[in-house]
Structure 1
Amino acid sequence: MQPKALAISIALALCAAQAHAAGNAVPTSAEEWFAAGRAAVETSKHVVPNRARAKNVILFVGDGMGVSTVTAARILEGQMRNADGEFNRLSFEKLDHMGTSVTASANQQTSDSAPTATAMVTGIKTNDGAISVDQTIERNEPSATVTRAKSVKTILEQAEERGMSTGIVTTARLTHATPAVNYAHIGNRDWEADSNLPAGATVADIARQLLEFPYGDGLEVALGGGRSYFMPNTASDPEYPSQKGRRKDGRDLTKEWTTKYKQSAYVWDKAAFDAVNPQQTKHLLGLFERSHMRYEADRKDDVAGEPSLAEMTEKAIKMLGQNKKGFYLMVEAGRIDHAHHAGNAYRALTDTVALSEAVEVAKRLTDDQDTLIVVTADHSHVFTIAGYPSRGNPILGKSAIDGVASTDALGLTYTTVSYANGPGWTGGFQRKEYNPATEGSVAAPYNGSALRPNLAGIDTTAPNYMQEATVPMGSETHAGEDVAIYASGPNAYLFRGPQEQNVIYHVMADALGLNKGGHGHGHGRGRD
């Protein structure tokens, strides 16, 4: 093609590319792909760093949402809409700025959620299992005095001190590691109720710390699961009457919430949640399950009903947004992590899509000019996308090229997504019995079944299918690679390249104008 003709073609294709981008349509020619790439660059040139002071900060955490999870969820969401999944983008992938987060904790190469979430809300790195305390604490430190001395003030606590409104939304238990780091300080993340504490311990359990929160006027919004950790072991659960609470101190923290806070409400089902008026309620506690809330794919099966992550996010923002001094909110899609541990990609990916919907709500209800939105993960998982499947092949299906199933060296089909370890069927026990010396013999004919399952006739896209794992384990593990950070609003431009995870706190705190002239008490110890 001649240069002039090429220029005209590109100009026309550029217009088409912009239309494609607006409608999420896929380019269909070389010229359109070229122009779409060029249009992306031109669009990026108009992104101006926002150096304004933030009024609000919303931190979204996809627990266990590694890059491979984001990619697969992007494809699945598109395919669920009968669109091109590879060209699709989740809502948070469209935010203006992006970086990566180094998730190693102070003592672990591959970390759990406690130190990684702590890093994001306190600005320091600590040890595995630790909730907003520094790395010098012992995992099972029972003393309240010692724990207090090693505590590190969180961004939520600082926001409350300033008079801002604060909230936590999660699909996990409110006492689980990621939400707990905002308001609790304890050496062992498992001490969620007093019945979990060792004998003689004086440190308050995590649920109790939510009610005895000493800063400002307390959290305005706390929505998630974990009802049993707030109820005494003599009280029947309102949704499951045959089951009791977990507290042995006799305290009913759900009742204490409404006693402590004026214009407050406690809800445990969808109807009561929907009835809450954001303009009339100042403090809202919602506990929608005894333990974790249901996966997004299973919410419809809950008789009492559970709000979606997007619905909880909307209610929280409408409540918190009434404060002229601004707000801090953490929103966690906590069950992405749990589905991965169970080797169940379908639920991990559909919960990731639910997070995308929650971010979309937040974008609609806030303004980039005064609200910093950060979307990231605490850590990744050993979840992988492999093979050479054709574009459009079902992401949860068997790898295939132009409809022809791909096979491994044993002649067996395999799925596109799988795990490096976990509970997925690997033929592990048969592998132990396999004897290479008798391979191919009449006594032990070799057909590959000793090493891998035959997936013929198995629907690997089914919600309950457990993806294969290379190393058999009772529970799939976290992974140690960096995770992505997506951001928009004030200070979002500061997320670039690989950064230590604790930098996330410092970007958010700087956006709000916190810690000017220092943290206020050394490197952050104490709860003054």
Structure 2
Amino acid sequence: MKNIGLKSVAIATTALATTLFTASAQAEDTGTAETWLEEGARVVAEKAAEPVNTKRAKNVILFVGDGMGISTLTAGRILEGQMQGKSGEENYLSFERFPYTALVKTYNVDAQVPDSAGTASALNTGSKTRIGVINTAPTQPNGQCAGAMETALTPLAHYAEKIGMATGIVSTARLTHATPAAVYAHSPSRGWENDGELPEEAVANGCRDIAQQILNPIGGNGLEVALGGGRRNFQPLGTGEGRRKDGRDLTQEWMASDSSAAYVENEQSLAQVDIANTSRLLGLFDNSHMQFEAQRGDEQPDLAEMTEVAIKMLQKNDGGYYLMVEAGRIDHGHHGGSAKAALYDTVALSKAVRKAMEMVDLDETMILVTADHSHVFTMAGYPKRGNPIFGLVTGPGETEPTLAKDGKPYTTLAYQNGPGAVQGERKHLTEEDIAAPDFRPQALVPTRSETHGGEDVGLFAIGPRAHIVRGTIEQNVIFHIMDYALDLRKRASE
């Protein structure tokens, strides 16, 4: 499912440009046979000694890197390492050292290559479903309201609320976008983000837009925290960039839902929230999606800051919590053919996971990190160790870029399709070209927006009962892993 084709991605700071495009001056660090053997033995010994925690989890945090396929993980870890002055390849993203991993199959029931709506629904409900829908049964047609609510799937947050747990969602995308919406909403179409998007058939059959569903009690007293973008879908026409035609201001309705509910719109007001005396917190930091991390100013919080506030809010509940955190703009960077945007947001996700690990007791909190799907993003050629991840391929022992058969250099990173495709003769790329803020690595097939990839994605797990994360699994099994860790549906049925 196509999301957004970006016209350009501005990455404007000198510090970032220096990190990205200055050739590595590090000496080659090959190690010795002895050091590699010793390190390998150490890793095996640590894994063999890893204790298995079979206790029931009190809390679950699910991190979703939207579009964070395996090639994105690899390139993201190298970028993070190079930002720290290393060659990059030896680096690990914060969650890549989790003790348990699996591969996840991502297809939808009607699509070999999935979209975020169907995949997020599988993560949150335990059932695979169709492309483009939010938590509706696999038999329900996309875009048809009739019958949808009678067979709607029950998300994990509903079970959590039923037994008194706290629930929350954090995303750098619009909170009404496909992945975050799957935490709290039901919709036969991911496009019904505000009431103006509802067709007559949907209105006649009682379907509601996604934004207004954020006010739902969802089995208990509703979400305790929701932080992200998408202000326009919550406010009426005539209010800023509001798009609601029903005249409702859902931000005000959120405030009216409880005497100690709060609503914020920027980083400064988020930092000033009196968490101890706030029962419900809504933060909408952009009219649409939040800014890419590479261009984020000081008006919007980063993913780690939002994650920190969300955990502080949810930790107040002695009954535990379920939190889903989405790095939504990894996906949008890739759709626009901008590896820079996608990978900086991948590094931001790593930072957010690290912050969560600092804040929770891993003896009682399960943390899962996965992706909803991949992208047609490649990392290829034979660049030498430490070659700048966004740079031209320069081989081991070489000082000049490797030339293709047309006599021109090429980048390590590229796309199978997308807006970066070259039609006609390929340009002779220079370091100046690839340092440009709007540079797109070359794509093969010209498309308006780069597409998702259909290969498996990774799942990384730590905490109570995380040891069952292994092998290759269907995506809907992740819901069942969280359910098993919490004994959730069993407790909800008692």
* TM-score > 0.5, shorter chain as reference: yes
1:50 corresponds to: 53
CA-CA distance at 1:514 after TM superposition:
1.6
Moved more, 224-233 or 258-267: 258-267
| 2:75 is aligned with 1:72 | yes
| 2:178 is aligned with 1:174 | no
2:303 corresponds to: 309
Secondary structure of 2:296's aligned partner = helix
Q: Aligned to 2:324, which of 327, 330, 334?
A: 330
Q: Note closer, same or farther for the CA distance 1:80–1:214 as it changes in structure 2 (3 Å cut).
A: closer
C-alpha separation in 2, matches of 1:26 and 1:279: 50
Contact 2:337 2:415 in 1 (8 A): yes
Deviations 1:165-201 (A, max 9, x none): 0000000000000000011011100000000011252
C-alpha separation in 1, matches of 2:462 and 2:153: 27
Q: Aligned to 1:211, which of 196, 215, 221?
A: 215
1:274 corresponds to: 271
Secondary structure of 1:516's aligned partner = helix
| 2:288 is aligned with 1:291 | yes
Secondary structure of 1:130's aligned partner = coil
User: What value does the CA root-mean-square deviation take over the aligned residues?
Assistant: 1.6
Secondary structure of 2:118's aligned partner = helix
| 2:371 is aligned with 1:377 | yes
Identity %: 50
Q: Note closer, same or farther for the CA distance 1:163–1:468 as it changes in structure 2 (3 Å cut).
A: same
Secondary structure of 1:290's aligned partner = coil
Contact 1:321 1:327 in 2 (8 A): yes
2:13 corresponds to: none
C-alpha separation in 1, matches of 2:379 and 2:336: 17
Q: Aligned to 1:224, which of 228, 251, 265?
A: 228
Q: Aligned to 1:492, which of 463, 466, 480?
A: 466
Question: Where do 5+ consecutive residues of structure 2 fail to align?
Answer: 1-27
Deviations 1:135-154 (A, max 9, x none): 111211134xx222121111
1:10 corresponds to: none
CA-CA distance at 1:215 after TM superposition:
2.0
CA-CA distance at 1:338 after TM superposition:
0.1
CA-CA distance at 1:212 after TM superposition:
2.9
C-alpha separation in 2, matches of 1:489 and 1:212: 30
C-alpha separation in 1, matches of 2:125 and 2:66: 18
Task: Report the count of equivalent residues.
Answer: 462
**Computing the radius of gyration over CA atoms, which structure comes out larger, 1 or 2?**
1
Q: Note closer, same or farther for the CA distance 1:37–1:462 as it changes in structure 2 (3 Å cut).
A: farther
Contact 2:159 2:489 in 1 (8 A): no
1:403 corresponds to: 399
C-alpha separation in 2, matches of 1:277 and 1:403: 56
2:39 corresponds to: 36
C-alpha separation in 2, matches of 1:312 and 1:27: 39
Deviations 1:30-79 (A, max 9, x none): 21111111111111111122211000000000000001001001001111
C-alpha separation in 2, matches of 1:37 and 1:306: 42
Contact 1:342 1:475 in 2 (8 A): yes
1:190 corresponds to: 191
1:265 corresponds to: 262
Contact 1:183 1:213 in 2 (8 A): no
C-alpha separation in 2, matches of 1:261 and 1:180: 22
Q: Aligned to 2:427, which of 426, 435, 453?
A: 453
C-alpha separation in 2, matches of 1:166 and 1:245: 26
CA-CA distance at 1:370 after TM superposition:
0.5
Counting only pairs closer than 5 Å after superposition, residues 320-359 of structure 1 correspond to structure 2 as 320-359=314-353
C-alpha separation in 1, matches of 2:365 and 2:97: 16
Query: 1:122 is matched by which residue type in structure 2?
Result: T
1:131 corresponds to: 134
Q: TM-score, normalised by structure 1?
A: 0.85
Secondary structure of 1:357's aligned partner = helix
Deviations 1:351-373 (A, max 9, x none): 00000000001100011110000
C-alpha separation in 2, matches of 1:282 and 1:484: 35
Contact 1:63 1:378 in 2 (8 A): yes
Contact 1:346 1:461 in 2 (8 A): no
Contact 2:95 2:369 in 1 (8 A): yes
CA-CA distance at 1:297 after TM superposition:
0.9
Q: Aligned to 1:111, which of 114, 117, 128?
A: 114
Q: Note closer, same or farther for the CA distance 1:492–1:411 as it changes in structure 2 (3 Å cut).
A: same
C-alpha separation in 2, matches of 1:313 and 1:488: 17
Deviations 1:322-380 (A, max 9, x none): 11100000000000000000000011000000000000011000111100000000000
1:160 corresponds to: 161
C-alpha separation in 2, matches of 1:456 and 1:245: 43
Secondary structure of 1:374's aligned partner = strand
Secondary structure of 1:485's aligned partner = strand
Deviations 1:467-520 (A, max 9, x none): 100111110000000000001001211111110000000000011012239x96
Contact 2:53 2:466 in 1 (8 A): yes
C-alpha separation in 1, matches of 2:429 and 2:268: 43
| 2:85 is aligned with 1:82 | yes
Query: 1:53 is matched by which residue type in structure 2?
Result: R
2:408 corresponds to: 412
